[in-house]
Amino acid sequence: MPGMLSFYGRVPFTGQTVVLMCLLTLTMLMPIMSSSQGATVIDFGDEATDVLEDADHNGLAEYLVIKVKVNVYEPGAYILHGTIGGDHIAASHGPLVLEIGPHELELRFSGGDISLFGVTGHYRIELELYSTDSSLDPVVKEIFTSDIYRPQMFEAPQGTGRVSVSTDRDKVYVIGDPLTISVNQTYPQLTFFYTVDEGRGSTSSLTYTTLIAFDDSDSDGVWDPELDEKKYEADLTMVDWELDLDVKNGVVISLYGVVQLRLAGTTTFVAWAKVTFRLTSTLLLETYDSQKFDIDIDLWQPLDATHIAVLHTLRDDTGERSIEEGPEDGSDPVVHQLRVVNDRGGTQNTYSWTDEITVGYSSLSTGSEASTWYDIGDGVADIWFSYPLEGDVQVIHHDPTVGMDPENIPDVKPDEDFIRNSVLIMLCGLGLGILVVGATLYSRKVMTMKRKGGDT
Amino acid sequence: MEFLDVAAASKDVLVGLLMVLSLALTVIGLLSYRRTGNPKVGMVTISFILFLLKGIFLAVGLYFTDLVRVPRGFAFSFDIMLAIDVLVLLALYLALFRKGRS
């Protein structure tokens, strides 16, 4: 093949050249490939710094503030989370909507928590950055070593029943004693249980599922499905919920979402409302066994309906307890209560509310009265809160309470810690024994043979 | 890297050693008894069989069922007791060979 020969003759080392070209092409393509898959959307910038915050100037810090520099490569909502000493102390900031470029974020660790942590020295702080969009890059982690601190430099928590906050990717926990409440970060659900048993035997949840607007044709304040009263409806579980955690003044957790109300029985969206569930740690009652939370409905346009109602479900998550109606205590206003009762008849979780609500046009201004009803089943209760839309009401506020009965705190024994058993290591011991026995038998045989050889 | 639990690993190795040594001594004891017919050897062999049963019980209890679980607070004492058993068997085993050489 003269042509081929002449080609090889004109371009020496053709094979190597092709390989080199391929490598060069790959090298050029790599940045493009890496930018299209698993690209870095946010990263830590320069070294973080730590300062103490002593707002009341009493010489004791209320917060250890970590100032963290981050570089954002893709705009979005991000959460900065940090822990000290494993999971002993945790703090979060966000979700924060960040534009492309450098930013400085703050993490505020409670001085009370550090005071109780009781460790002197450099604190190893594990920092995590992640997007609220779980499809984006996973958590970016960094370790920061703080200056030397002593617990005595921080303000000790007041009283015995302190409150701390902890987060994971799904939930934010407000931990008191005896009550712990968690708020789901992407779903309208509250979970509450005894702190001491970490929820193993006492968890109940409140899940908000449906919002409807209806015309109350029989004027009883209650939605009657048989009277064709429903005009608008929205599935609260299908809303994009966002969580805002503010730790500057106690702990304020706000879960909010924009709800699209559609004409009942159709897919036509006709109205929007912002629904917010807000939990404020300063409203944790002095005994730390119950917590008020807010339900706020903000209609973005007037609705031609007489009432708006929210359906939620109180569920015993252990599957072993029942739900009962609490007794009327004769208080004014009347307090309605549902109780989750264990098999010995002891009340553990409680959910209570009054019919008092606050309403208004653009802001909350006047008192009004809700209608509430419920249907108790096996370990579950469907509860309706119905709010009248009298006049030009577009803003509604209601504040029920969840709690744990301090009389029935379970006696939880700490798990006994047993050492692990490894078959593999035992087999190593077995092999060692076989080796010892084999070696002695072999040496005996050798010596016997030697002796016999000597005798002959 | 996961921290190596020394107390747990020592216990596992010692159980293995206990089984092998007690088995070896039991076999030697049985062979000796068959050869000599000496009741004293028979009694000593029974004690080796008991050690072997102890080893099997521990192995089954620890590795194949939840019958035996060693609390962390008791792990060190458990290891010492097992180590003494193994040392007793090892001493008896080596004594056999010393006798053989003499």
| A349 Cβ contact list (under 8 Å, min separation 6) | A192, A193, A202, A204, A316, A339, A340, A402, A403, A404, A405
A45: its two tokens:
């910038």
The two tokens of residue A52 are 């103490």
Alpha-carbon torsion (B51, B55, B58, B61), positive or negative: negative
Instruction: Using pLDDT thresholds of 50, 70 and 90, give the confidence band for residue A16.
Output: low
Spatial distance between the Cα atoms of A268 and A277, rounded to a whole number of angstroms:
26
From residue A200, alpha-carbon distances to A170, A246, A306 in Å are 18, 28, 43
pLDDT beyond 70 at A15: no
Whole-number pLDDT of residue A151: 76
Distance from C-alpha of A273 to C-alpha of A257, rounded to nearest angstrom: 8
| Residues belonging to chain B | 102
Lowest-confidence pick of A4-13, A168-177, B92-101? A4-13
- A421 closest CB neighbour out of B19, B63, B100: B63
pLDDT in tens, A291-302: 888 999 999 988
What residues of B are in the A interface, CB distance below 8 Å?
A: 5, 7-9, 11-21, 24, 59, 62-63, 69-73, 75, 90, 93-94, 97, 100-101
Q: Which one-letter DSSP state was computed for residue B60?
A: I
Range with the poorest average pLDDT among A2-16, A122-136, A276-290, A351-365? A2-16
Residue in A419, A420, A437 closest to B20 by CB: A437
- H or E stretch covering A336: strand A336-341
Residue identified by tokens 């190597």 is: A16
Confidence (pLDDT) at A78: 87
Domains of chain A and any CATH numbers:
42-157 (2.60.40.10), 169-408 (2.70.98)
Residues of B in contact with A416 (CB under 8 A): 71
* Amino acid A283: pLDDT: 54
In this predicted structure, the answer to whether residue A267 has a pLDDT above a threshold of 80 is yes
Write the pLDDT tens digit of every residue in B4-29. Answer: 688 899 999 999 999 999 999 999 99
Q: Assess whether pLDDT exceeds 70 at residue B97.
A: yes
The interface predicted TM-score (ipTM) is 0.90
B15/A426 touch (CB, cutoff 8 Å), yes or no: yes
Q: Estimate to the nearest angstrom the gap between the alpha carbon of A43 and the chain centroid.
A: 22
* Chain B residue nearest residue A435, CA to CA: B20
Collect all residues of chain A within an 8 Å Cβ-Cβ radius of residue B97: 440, 444
For A232, A372, B32, the CA distances from A228, given in Å and listed in that order, are 11, 19, 97
- Residue numbers in A near B19 (CB within 8 A): 430, 433
- Residues of chain A with Cβ-Cβ distance to B70 below 8 Å are 418-419
Backbone angles phi, psi at A368, to 5 degrees: -150, -175
pLDDT tens string A303-337 = 889 999 999 999 999 999 999 998 877 777 889 99
The domains of chain B are located at 8-96
A-chain CB neighbours of B90 within 8 Å are: 436
Residue A367 has pLDDT above 70, yes or no: yes
| HSE-up of residue A221 (Cα within 13 Å, Cβ side) | 13
Cα(A440)–Cα(A210) distance, integer angstroms: 79
* Predicted pLDDT at A162: 59
Query: Is A284:A337 a contact under the CB 8 Å cutoff?
Result: no
Test the A interface: residue of B5, B17, B19, B101 with most A CBs within 10 Å: B17
| A426 with B16: Cβ contact below 8 A | yes
Q: Judge whether residue B101 has pLDDT over 50.
A: no
A366 contacts A392 by C-beta, under 8 angstroms: no
Tell me the pLDDT tens digit for each residue of A32-57: 444 444 567 888 888 889 999 888 77
Q: Per the CB < 8 Å rule, is A433 touching B93?
A: no
Residue A132 gets the label, from left (phi > 0), alpha (psi -120 to 50) or beta, of alpha
